[in-house]
Chain A
Amino acid sequence: MRSKAATSKASSAFSKQGKSAKGKEKEQAPEQLKVLQRAAESSHEDDNEELDDQEENEEATDEDEQEFEDVEEDDAVPVDQLSDAISVDEDAVAQQKVEIDNAIAMERIRETIRLDPSLPWTETLVVSYPETVDVDVDDDLNRELAFYKQALHCAKEAKTLAAKHNFPFTRPADYFAEMVKSDAHMERIRQRLLDESATIKRSDEKRKEREGKKFGKQVQMEKLRERERGKKEMEERLKGLKRKRKDALDDAQGNGEDFDVAVENAISDRPSKRGKTDGRGGKHTSRQQRDKKFGFGGPRKYSKQNDKSSTDNFQPRGGKPTRGGRGGARGGAKRPGKSRRVAARSRS
C-alpha cells in the first residue's frame, strides 16, 4: 500500500492535475461509475465499520483508490509527477488532514440524480436566494435577520411564481385542518407571551413607582420646609411690627390705618420699603438684643475655660437640668426603700 502521505499529496495536488485530466474524465464517466459502484460494494464492510474513525476511513478510501488507480485518475497521481509540484516534507503532510474534494465525481453524481429540468416549478418549490448570507457568525441578531431576509425574499418570490403557475398558495380563511403544533401547545405559547408582557409591564411600573417615590419624598420635604420657613418668617415680621407699634396702638387710634399698611407690607413677600419703617421708629430690635442674639463683644476665646474661681466650684453650671442620672438625685426627696414602701402601704 502506498503511504498515506503520498495520497494526501496526490489529492491536494489534484487541483493542478485535474484540469488536464478533465477531458478524458468526461468520456470515461459512465463506465467509471459502474466500476466505482462495484468498488463501493466491495469496500462496503470495512468502510462501514470504521466510518467514525477518520483516519481509518481514510485508509479504506485510499485502498479503493489504489485498486482502481487506472480509473480514478483524479485522485491517484503517480508520486514521481508530484515531486516537482510540492516539496516533500513527510512530517508536515502526515499531520495534515486529508482533504478530498472530488468535484468531477460529485458533478457526475449530481447529473445522475438530477431531477428532470422540464419539471414545473410546482414539483419542487425550490427558490434560490440571489445573495449569499454574509454576516458575522457570532452576531446572533444579524445572522437571524439575514436568514429572515432570505426567507422573506424567497416567500415573496414563491408567491409570484405560484401566481404564474396557477398554483394555490394562500390558505383561504375558512380552510381548517390539523396544524403542526397542537392547539394546546399554541395556547401555552400564547400564555407565555402574555406572561412575558405582563412581567415587563409590572417591572416597568414598579420602577416608575420607585423613582416617583424617591423623587416625591424629596418634593414633599422641600414643600414642608418651605411652608415652615414661610410661617416663621411671617410670625417674626408680625412680632417685630407689633413690638414697634405698641405705643402707637395704645394712644392713638388714628394711626390704625398706618399700622394696617405696615402689616400688609410685612406680610407680603417683598416688603415695600425697609426705609419706610425706619424713617419713623428707628431700628426693629434694640442693639443689645441683637448683640445678644447674634453675638457681639465680650470674651469669646477663653469664655469656657476654667479660671481661678471656677476650678474649685463644683456647683453645676446654669442651664437646663439634665434628666435622670445624677441630676435626678438632686431634686426632691429620695424614693424610700422597698421595705419602707411596703410597710407604708400595709399601714394605709
Chain B
Amino acid sequence: MNDLEALLPHVKKDAKLDSKNHLNLLPELADLNNCNNALYFEARRHEDLYLWAAKTPNGPSIKMHVQNVHTMDELKMTGNCLKGSRGILSFDKAFDESEWGRLTKEVFTHIFGVPPQARKAKPFVDHVLTFSLLDNKIWFRNFQIVEKDPLQPNGPPQTSLVEIGPRFVLTPIRIFEGAFGGATVYSNPEFVSPAAVRSALNKERGNRYKSRKFQEEERTGRKDHRKLEEDQLAVSKVFA
C-alpha cells in the first residue's frame, strides 16, 4: 500500500503495529505524529486485508474489507502523474443517498483530500481519485488527466483519462463512533466475512465427501444383502 503513500503527499507512514488487539494504541500513535486522520491496514490470516479509515482523536472510524487489489506496479496501467500533486476527489451520487454514504464521503474527503498547504504537494492537478458506490461496495480508481491528445499535439485540448492505479474495492463492514472503537453506528448486513465464506466452501466439500462415503457404504451393504447363499446343488459342491 505504498501506492497510497505515494499519492497522498501529506501522509506519514508508520511502522507495522505488532499487535492486532490493541487498536487503541493507534490514536496515540496518530497523535504523536500530529495526524488527525488514520488509515490502518490490517492483514489477517495472510489473505484478508481490512482497512480502517478513522478520524483519530474522537472518531468516527470505518472498517472496510479490501478486495481485488491491483497495485501501481502492474504494467497494465499506463498512466502516470506528478508525485504529490493534489488529486480531484470524485464521488458518485449514490454516496448522497444513504446516511452512511454521506458519512463515508465526509471521512474520505478528509483523508484522501490533500490540503493545499501540504508541504510536499505540487501546485497542479493531474489525477482523479474516483470513488463509486456499486453493489454496496466502494470502488476505488485513480486516473490521470491527459489534456492533450498525443496523436494530435497541435489539436484542440481534449481531456481524456489514463488509469494510473492502484485499484481496489472496499466493502464497508462497520462504522464506529470512536476512533478505532466505540459504539457501532452502522453495520453492513450484507457483509459476509471471508473466513465464513471459506469455511462454507470447506463444509460443502466435506459434505460432498461425506455423502460419497455414505453412498459407497450403502452400496456395499446392498450388494451383500443381495448375495444368494450357496446352493446345495452348486457346481462346486456337486463336483467337489
A residues adjacent to B (C-beta < 8 A): 36-37, 39-41, 43-45, 47-49, 51-52, 54, 57, 61, 64-65, 97-103, 105-107, 109-110, 113-115, 122-135, 137, 143, 146-148, 150-152, 154-156, 158-159, 162, 167-171, 175, 177-181, 185-186, 188-189, 192-193
The answer to whether A143 touches B134 (Cβ under 8 A) is yes
* A156 CB, min distance to chain B CBs, angstroms: 6
What chain A residues lie within 8 Å of B94 (beta carbons)?
132-133
In the bound complex, what is the Cα–Cα distance between A9 and B186 (angstroms)? 16
Choose among B55, B72, B160, B178 the residue that contacts A152 (Cβ–Cβ < 8 A): B160
In the bound complex, what is the Cα–Cα distance between A185 and B79 (angstroms)? 11
Q: Beyond A170-B147, A181-B72: 18 further Cβ-contacts under 8 Å?
A: A101-B99, A105-B177, A107-B99, A124-B113, A125-B88, A126-B89, A126-B90, A126-B91, A128-B93, A129-B90, A137-B135, A151-B141, A159-B159, A180-B80, A180-B82, A180-B83, A188-B75, A189-B78
Interface flags for B57-88 (1: CB within 8 Å of A; 0: not) read 01110010000000011010110111111111
- Residue among B77, B102, B107, B132 with the highest chain A CB neighbour number at 10 A: B132
Given contacts A48-B21, A124-B113, A180-B80, contact A64 B124 (CB under 8 A): no
* A189 CB, min distance to chain B CBs, angstroms: 5
Choose among A105, A114, A170 the residue that contacts B124 (Cβ–Cβ < 8 A): A170
B100 beta carbon closer than 8 Å to chain A: yes
* B59 CB, min distance to chain A CBs, angstroms: 7
What chain A residues lie within 8 Å of B175 (beta carbons)?
106
What chain A residues lie within 8 Å of B100 (beta carbons)?
101, 103, 106
B residues adjacent to A (C-beta < 8 A): 6-7, 21-24, 44, 55, 58-60, 63, 72-73, 75, 77-78, 80-97, 99-100, 102-103, 106-107, 109-110, 113-116, 122-126, 128, 130, 132-135, 139, 141, 143, 145, 147, 159-161, 164, 175-178, 180-187, 189, 193
Given contacts A61-B183, A133-B94, contact A168 B123 (CB under 8 A): yes
* B211 CB, min distance to chain A CBs, angstroms: 24
Choose among B59, B63, B159 the residue that contacts A155 (Cβ–Cβ < 8 A): B159
The answer to whether A137 touches B134 (Cβ under 8 A) is yes
What chain A residues lie within 8 Å of B106 (beta carbons)?
110, 113-115
The answer to whether A125 touches B181 (Cβ under 8 A) is no
The answer to whether B143 touches A148 (Cβ under 8 A) is yes
Q: Interface SS of chain B: helix, strand, loop or mixed?
A: mixed
Residue of A nearest to B147 (CB): A170
Given contacts A48-B21, A115-B110, contact A158 B125 (CB under 8 A): yes
In the bound complex, what is the Cα–Cα distance between A175 and B161 (angstroms)? 20
The answer to whether A110 touches B103 (Cβ under 8 A) is yes
The answer to whether B186 touches A101 (Cβ under 8 A) is yes
Residue of B nearest to A100 (CB): B187
A-B contact pairs, 17 of them (CB 8 A): A40-B178, A49-B21, A52-B44, A61-B183, A101-B186, A110-B103, A125-B86, A127-B88, A128-B93, A133-B132, A137-B134, A148-B143, A150-B90, A151-B161, A152-B159, A180-B81, A186-B80
In the bound complex, what is the Cα–Cα distance between A36 and B63 (angstroms)? 19
What chain A residues lie within 8 Å of B113 (beta carbons)?
123-126
* A135 CB, min distance to chain B CBs, angstroms: 7
Choose among A61, A97, A175, A178 the residue that contacts B184 (Cβ–Cβ < 8 A): A61
The answer to whether B125 touches A162 (Cβ under 8 A) is yes
Residue of B nearest to A153 (CB): B90
* A182 CB, min distance to chain B CBs, angstroms: 9
What chain B residues lie within 8 Å of A134 (beta carbons)?
134
* A216 CB, min distance to chain B CBs, angstroms: 37
Choose among A109, A162, A188 the residue that contacts B177 (Cβ–Cβ < 8 A): A109
